[in-house]
């Protein structure tokens, strides 16, 4: 596997040279992220649907267990059980509006990954870098378990496990485990583990910092080691269920799937699970004894277990909901972990927004009222006093505000309105409001998707690598 080792060395060199100002060595993480023999065990696969432009090109890369949809190019990279989803890429003729200026997209956008290592990473949405609208680039970057690269071109970066870069152009940065960044642009920075940072210049800035030792219980990563903590243990206890769905090319859906609902072939569904109309269950989602009301969704790497979602709920990439009941249009952000108990249910009211990277791990019954904003680490009802506010009250903030470990500066109304607009856009894009004629989205467009597989060399000089492949319609 000498050629594969050379590629890993090349990626390490390129990540490190970009992070030299940070004095950060990605080598111990890259070399120990995945045993090289694992690269031989899993096929890569890509989706075919007439709703999305098709062009795949792979060269000098290993793609084990990775899923691709839309226009994607991968060169000199190692991808392991990642998800590269280009179903929201910009298309030729789209017009971008920014700062009173308009810019036309002259060719279909593509995702390009080069000189990078992505381990169990989700890449989704379209590039939010207005200076290069036709290409969503990930270059000279190492990203680790269950990180999200969402609409965020990244170059020369290290992304720790369960981190998220969201709608942000990122250059030469170290993003710590479970950090969330949505700032438009960031360069030459280290974002500490467990920092939640949302900023719009001239409008607002929201920050929250998880207590270091309390966060380590849930996720940590040391040089040369593997991610540890509650999050990884929770996922590892269920990973054998995914092997069953990946071993079968075609299988009958385990539950009734309405015509307007999409259940991915590569999702796990167990127990007494119910899917209503206009539901989207994405690749690598896990549902067990789950009730999914009309228009609800479970995005990639989501877990919904013994829980009820009443309808029009957004469960964003990587979020987990266990032993909980959510009212209509409740939103759960990226990589949030919501765990009630069998005898101590978690209840979340309608229209409540659970911020990205929120941990709710109950000790007893916990009820979060409707129309609230929630963030941070909550264990009991008392924690709501320092880690939640009614949305109406938050919208009244003007200037500086602090509540526990959360600080806010700017317009609360702008912050709340931005979240409401984004939730509405997600529901529309997912087809939650489809009426049989209008409002078609992902739940309808990916209903009849087909999958094709490719496999690596098993022996010889190129062992572990995939042949150079170019696929056109």
Partnered with residue 155 across adjacent β-strands are 139, 171
Instruction: Give the chain's mean pLDDT.
Output: 95
Q: Using the predicted structure, report yes or no on whether residue 201 has a pLDDT greater than 80.
A: yes
Cα–Cα distance measured from residue 188 to residue 417, given in angstroms and rounded to the nearest whole number: 30
Q: Using the predicted structure, report yes or no on whether residue 144 has a pLDDT greater than 90.
A: yes
Q: Using the predicted structure, report yes or no on whether residue 118 has a pLDDT greater than 80.
A: yes
Contact status, residue 388 vs residue 405, Cβ threshold 8 Å: no
- Looking at per-residue pLDDT, the higher value among 191 and 50 belongs to 191
Tally of residues, the chain: 473
Q: Please name the residue that has the structure tokens 């062992």.
A: 463
Q: Using the predicted structure, report yes or no on whether residue 249 has a pLDDT greater than 70.
A: no
Q: What is the pTM of this model?
A: 0.97
3-state secondary structure of 185: strand
Contact status, residue 431 vs residue 260, Cβ threshold 8 Å: yes
Superfamily of domain 238-398+426-445: Hexapeptide repeat proteins (2.160.10.10)
Does 2-227+449-471 match 238-398+426-445 in CATH topology? yes
Burial of 59 (0-12, 13-18, 19+ CB in 10 A): middle
3-state secondary structure of 61: strand
Burial of 39 (0-12, 13-18, 19+ CB in 10 A): buried
Cα–Cα distance measured from residue 281 to residue 275, given in angstroms and rounded to the nearest whole number: 9
Burial of 375 (0-12, 13-18, 19+ CB in 10 A): buried
- Output b/e per residue, 266-289; b: 16+ Cβ within 10 A: bbbbeeebebbbbbbbbbbbbbbe
Pairing label, strands 164-166, 148-150 = parallel
The pLDDT value given to residue 244: 86
Cα–Cα distance measured from residue 420 to residue 432, given in angstroms and rounded to the nearest whole number: 15
Q: How confident is the model over 377-434, as pLDDT tens digits?
A: 999 999 999 999 999 999 999 999 999 999 999 999 999 999 999 999 999 999 999 9
Contact status, residue 319 vs residue 332, Cβ threshold 8 Å: yes
List all residues 6 or more positions away from 220 whose beta carbon is below 8 Å from its beta carbon: 177, 193, 227, 228, 229
Contact status, residue 320 vs residue 234, Cβ threshold 8 Å: yes
What is the distance, to the nearest Å, from the Cα of residue 36 to the centroid of all Cα atoms in its chain?
A: 25
The pLDDT value given to residue 247: 81
The pLDDT value given to residue 100: 82
Q: Using the predicted structure, report yes or no on whether residue 99 has a pLDDT greater than 80.
A: no
Phi, psi of 224 (to 5 degrees): 80, 0
- Looking at per-residue pLDDT, the higher value among 246 and 467 belongs to 467
Q: Where are the domains of the chain?
A: 2-227+449-471, 238-398+426-445
Cα–Cα distance measured from residue 192 to residue 100, given in angstroms and rounded to the nearest whole number: 35
Would you place residue 101 in the very low, low, confident or very high pLDDT band (cuts 50, 70, 90)?
confident
| Percent of all residues in the chain with a pLDDT value above 70, rounded to a whole number | 100
2-227+449-471: CATH number: 2.160.10.10
The whole-number average pLDDT for the span 74-91 is 96
């Amino acid at each position: 596997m000498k050629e594969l080792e050379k590629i890993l060395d090349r990626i390490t060199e390129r990540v490190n040279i970009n992070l030299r100002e940070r004095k950060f060595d990605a080598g111990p993480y890259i070399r120990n992220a995945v045993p090289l023999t694992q690269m031989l065990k899993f096929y890569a696969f890509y989706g075919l649907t007439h709703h999305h432009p098709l062009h795949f090109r792979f060269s000098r890369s290993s793609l084990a267990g990775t899923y691709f949809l839309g226009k994607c190019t991968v060169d000199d990279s190692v991808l392991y059980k990642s998800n590269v989803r280009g179903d929201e890429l910009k298309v030729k003729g789209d017009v971008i509006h920014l700062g009173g200026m308009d810019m036309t997209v002259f060719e279909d956008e593509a995702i390009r990954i080069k000189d990078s290592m992505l381990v169990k990473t989700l890449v989704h949405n379209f590039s939010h870098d207005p200076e290069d609208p036709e290409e969503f680039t990930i270059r000279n970057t190492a990203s680790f378990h269950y990180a999200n690269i969402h609409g965020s071109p990244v170059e020369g970066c290290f992304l720790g496990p369960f981190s998220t870069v969201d709608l942000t152009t990122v250059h030469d940065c170290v993003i710590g485990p479970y950090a969330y960044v949505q700032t438009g642009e960031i360069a030459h920075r280290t974002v500490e583990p467990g920092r939640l940072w949302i900023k719009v210049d001239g409008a607002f800035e929201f920050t929250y910092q998880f207590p270091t030792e309390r966060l380590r219980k849930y996720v940590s990563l040391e040089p040369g080691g593997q991610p540890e903590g509650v999050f990884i243990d929770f996922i590892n206890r269920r990973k054998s269920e995914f092997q069953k769905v990946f071993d079968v090319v075609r299988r009958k859906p385990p539950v009734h799937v309405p015509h307007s609902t999409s259940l991915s072939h590569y999702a796990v569904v167990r127990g007494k699970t119910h899917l209503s109309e206009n539901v989207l269950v994405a690749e690598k989602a896990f549902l067990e004894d789950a009730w999914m009301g009309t228009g609800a969704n479970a995005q990639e790497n989501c877990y919904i277990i013994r829980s009820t979602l009443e309808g029009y709920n957004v469960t964003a990439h990587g979020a987990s909901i266990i032993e909980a009941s959510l009212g209509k249009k409740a939103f759960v952000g990226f990589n949030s972990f919501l765990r009630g108990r069998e005898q101590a249910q978690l209840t979340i009211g309608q229209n409540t927004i659970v911020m990205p990277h929120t941990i709710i791990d109950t000790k007893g019954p916990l009820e979060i009222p409707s129309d609230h904003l929630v963030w941070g680490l909550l264990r009991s009802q008392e924690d709501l006093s320092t880690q939640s506010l009614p949305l109406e009250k938050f919208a009244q903030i003007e200037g500086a505000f602090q509540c526990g470990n959360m600080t806010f500066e700017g317009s609360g109304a702008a912050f709340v309105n931005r979240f409401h607009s984004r939730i509405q856009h997600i529901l529309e894009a997912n087809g939650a409001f489809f009426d049989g004629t209008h409002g078609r989205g992902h739940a309808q467009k990916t209903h009849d998707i087909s999958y094709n597989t490719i496999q690596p060399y098993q022996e010889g000089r190129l062992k572990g690598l995939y042949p150079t492949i170019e696929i056109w319609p």
